[in-house]
Structure 1
């Protein structure tokens, strides 16, 4: 990540700002379109996704949200969901299209892994749509491996990054 990018840990209860809301809206709108169910705007997103966009402070109150910024502009985000049974889950990785190819996604995932490892978790998992081959390749480069699915939805690839005894993420 270049020096003009900063990753900020978003504190629970913060509204997240319009930049985070715009990133989450873009993520969900693109995902729905890729699944073959495009929606006309964020107000037409399924309720479970619309609440994330409208009120990320509440939707992610128990989670860690990392935001990459170029100056004052939010250009990427990732959510590290609250841990369950020693593992957390990465969700909502998104980088603004004009910022892709600059290492932002990798920096966000590495920051999430570092945070998870520092808190003593044994692993981080994620699910990704099979057609997001660039994301899958990134996750593999960062040490994630494909694992048995915990999600019943078709077309998802489930991956996990296990932490070794005492090593850095």
Structure 2
């Protein structure tokens, strides 16, 4: 993985991440107020967003190009992004993906900022999701 760079994406380059998502027919989107991160070689091979919320950030939009999966791209991207933010980082995922996140230090939690708790409640009306957090040591 030494040839892969994990970088925050300047807001002016937001269309680059959107183009990556569309090229792979991913439903992911770069949220307006989010800090965007990419994994790239000569081109973008992965992306994710960290949106500020009370007490930390909400991780969304994690997507790695299918040809790059299983090579540690997602783990590297998350690790790089986590070093740049303060506070807890929360995410929602399908139950079968929780093991991946737990290996990266996330734990299942029901303790969410109100804005995420209400969003999770809405999402659970149509999807099976668990909430996980990467907790700041205090």
- TM-score, L = length of structure 2: 0.80
- Residue in structure 2 matching 1:107, options 76, 89, 112: 76
- Alpha-carbon offset, residue 3 of structure 1: 1.5
Count of aligned pairs between the two proteins? 125
1:9 partnered with 2:11: no
Report runs of 4+ in structure 1 exceeding 4 Å deviation. none
Distance in 2 of aligned mates of 1:16 and 1:138: 28
TM-score for the superposition, normalised by structure 1: 0.67
Q: State whether residues 9 and 35 of structure 2, in contact with CA within 8 Å, keep that contact through their aligned partners in structure 1.
A: yes
Q: Distance in 2 between matches of 1:143 and 1:136?
A: 11
CA RMSD of aligned residues (A): 1.8
In structure 1, the partner of 2:48 is 78
Structure 1 segment 57-76 matched on structure 2, within 5 A? 59-60=31-32, 62-71=33-42, 73-76=43-46
Q: Structure 1: which 5+ runs fail to align? A: 29-48
Within a 5 Å distance, the mapping from 1:84-99 to structure 2 comes to: 84-99=53-68
- 2:100 and 2:129 map into 1 onto residues whose CA distance is 16
SS, match of residue 79 in structure 1 = strand
In structure 2, which of residues 18, 21, 35 is the aligned counterpart of residue 21 of structure 1?
A: 18
Shift of 1:87: 1.5
Work out which of the two has the higher radius of gyration on C-alpha atoms and give 1 or 2.
1
